[in-house]
Amino acid sequence: MTRKLGYVQAFNEAVRQEMAANPDVFCAGEDIGAFGGVFQSYAGLQAEFGEDRVVDTPISEQAIIGLGVGAAVTGLRPIVDIMFMDFICVAFDQIVNQAAKLKYMFGGSATIPLTITTGGGGGLSAAAQHSQSLEALLCHIPGLIVVHPSNPYDMKGLMTSCIRENNPTIMIKHKRLLGMQGEVPEEPYAIPLGKANVLREGTDVTVVSWGKMVNDALDVANSLESEGISVEVIDPRTLQPLDTATIVESVRKTNRVVVVHEAVKFGGLGAEVAAQIQEKAFDYLDAPVARVGAPFSPVPFSPVLEQHYLPSPDDITAAIRGVVARPGV
């Protein structure tokens, strides 16, 4: 049975159901106990499961991730929360050199069932140190699985898979999707990690996007239908490992691609997606791969400047029209 559920509530339900099913699952983070977390992602869990399984921590990202790594390698399934994605940088040694490496340092004999959750993205006038999209940094680290849901249904299913996974996962919650509503089943379910979702089929151009930008891409695709432009929209859902096969299959059909992300365009994950398409589907391209991303600048605090900074539906529309206008071979 399905019902309307919010993005945050879908996350919370996944955690609650996995905690109820497995006593080895516990949560730790700043203000996640009685307060429920800065975005209420953990609301009510401490009251239900107690202080031993929903642990308020000091303000120390290094300690939070270190706690999670140690607990995971000794057999528990910790979920550790870093309030804002920007603060992951404070704990990069623990993430990059410990969580991501221990399995390899022990010759594959160790499992690290650690889930790191964090809030990413701009749009809330939270300024340069609380608004970044840093998924490309994380996707560059072998040993990490990086997940970025675009809707409540995917949030619950992907979070369930993260908790059950035996390798370190990072769940990115986009802050501008926190209030998004969608149909979500009541029962537990898991969405396979590393499998993209074709949200909308089309024949003229493929748009690959993730997080908040997926919903903007869908709106643009629906709008361009009236102009006779048929847009296929793919949400990778898992950014590392990336489901390149699904993207390439789409490109072979549409022959044109636009990659859209909120992160800075230069060095962003869109460049890697474009490179893989070029390597595996070059002969099918009728136009260069187009990319839409943010300018090479910190996220502004001013709401007016921030809205100008973030990629918009108009930017996506212009990129799609640009690649479609190029004559095919």
Question: What is the maximum alpha-carbon separation in the chain?
Answer: 64
CA separation for the pair 260, 315 (Å, rounded): 9
pLDDT surpasses 90 at 29: yes
The residues, ordered by sequence, that sit 6+ positions from 284 with a Cβ below 8 Å of its Cβ are 251, 252, 255
pLDDT surpasses 70 at 328: no
Name the DSSP letter for residue 15: H
- Write down the domain spans for the chain: 2-185, 197-324
The residues, ordered by sequence, that sit 6+ positions from 87 with a Cβ below 8 Å of its Cβ are 61, 118
Residues 314-324, mean pLDDT to the nearest whole number: 97
Compute the C-alpha angle 287/266/200, nearest 5°.
Answer: 50
Predicted local confidence at residue 326, as pLDDT? 83
CA separation for the pair 64, 53 (Å, rounded): 14
Residues 272-279, mean pLDDT to the nearest whole number: 98
Domains 2-185 and 197-324 share a fold: yes
Top-tier CATH class for 197-324:
alpha beta
pTM over 0.85, yes/no? yes
β-strand 2-6 against 181-185: which pairing, if any?
A: antiparallel
Per-chain mean pLDDT for the chain? 96
Residues 214-236, mean pLDDT to the nearest whole number: 97
Angle between helical axes of 7-21 and 152-164 (0-180°, round to 10) = 30
**What band does 1 get if pLDDT is binned at 50, 70 and 90?**
confident
Q: What is the pLDDT of residues 48-102, one digit of tens each?
A: 999 999 999 999 999 999 999 999 999 999 999 999 999 999 999 999 999 999 9
Following DSSP, what letter does each residue of 286-313 receive, concatenated? SSPPEEEEE-SSPPPSSHHHHHHHS--H
**What band does 329 get if pLDDT is binned at 50, 70 and 90?**
low
**What band does 208 get if pLDDT is binned at 50, 70 and 90?**
very high
Dihedrals φ, ψ of 286, to 5°?
A: -100, 0
Catalytic residue among 130, 148, 174, 261: 130
Tell me the CA distances in angstroms from 136 to 42, 122, 174, 268, 271, one per residue in order: 26, 16, 15, 6, 10
Tell me the CA distances in angstroms from 188 to 24, 147, 163, 164, one per residue in order: 17, 18, 12, 12
Q: What is the pLDDT of residues 102-120, one digit of tens each?
A: 999 999 999 999 999 999 9
Q: How far is CA 119 from the centre of its chain?
A: 9
**130 annotated active-site:** yes
Predicted local confidence at residue 84, as pLDDT? 96
Superfamily the domain 2-185 falls into: Thiamin diphosphate (ThDP)-binding fold, Pyr/PP domains (3.40.50.970)
Give the three-class secondary structure for 74: coil
Share of the chain above pLDDT 90, in %: 97
Indicate if the alpha-carbon torsion angle 24, 88, 5, 263 is positive or negative: negative
